[in-house]
Structure 1
């Protein structure tokens, strides 16, 4: 089944949606020119399937394409993702 990443600014989160179900989210705070990712969560039965990486990639791509905000990865999962994917490191120094 296809999954999509949706920005839900009214909930301060990016949601990973599969069909009609939300299977994960990446919570964030906007502070000035920063977007601070604070927590990422995938439905427990769906962990270890790559969905967390898909969620973070979609969220970071949206930040890159839709804003000039600097990413502050307070969530360890987001920080690890950026460490492992060097093409996203530029988002840390915008």
Structure 2
């Protein structure tokens, strides 16, 4: 099984492909300095294979490399940030309390 995550800027979402077929996506909305992840999903056929983690990790890493702060507004992305503490620092301080993340 080969996986690839791409940033579809026209649709404002990161997409994950498995053997060339789209398996899910993470939608975002950008501001000048933050990227808010508003919805993410893995299609039912592909659930339970760790693709959500792969998608979110790649999307967050790419966003950080581009200089964006992360706003994990969607439950899947917020859960990932909560369970992978190295990403909390990418969430702006002003947003952490409202999202229930460590200060």
SS in 2 for 1:32: coil
Higher RCO (C-alpha under 8 Å, 6+ residues apart): 1
2:43 is aligned to: 43
Secondary structure of 1:11 counterpart: coil
Secondary structure at the aligned position of 2:10 is classed as: helix
- SS of the aligned residue for 2:48 comes to coil
The gaps in structure 2 that reach 5 residues or longer are 94-103
TM-score by length of 2: 0.84
Counterpart CA distance in 1 for 2:74 and 2:81 is: 11
Q: TM-score, normalised by structure 1?
A: 0.92
Larger relative strand fraction:
1
Runs of 4+ in structure 1 displaced over 3 angstroms? none
Larger radius of gyration: 2
Query: For 1:3-55, what per-residue CA distance to the aligned partner results, in whole angstroms no more than 9, with x for missing partners?
Result: 01101111100000122211010000012211000000111121122110110
Secondary structure of the 1:10 match is: coil
Report the secondary structure of 1:17's partner residue: strand
Equivalent pairs counted in the alignment come to 93
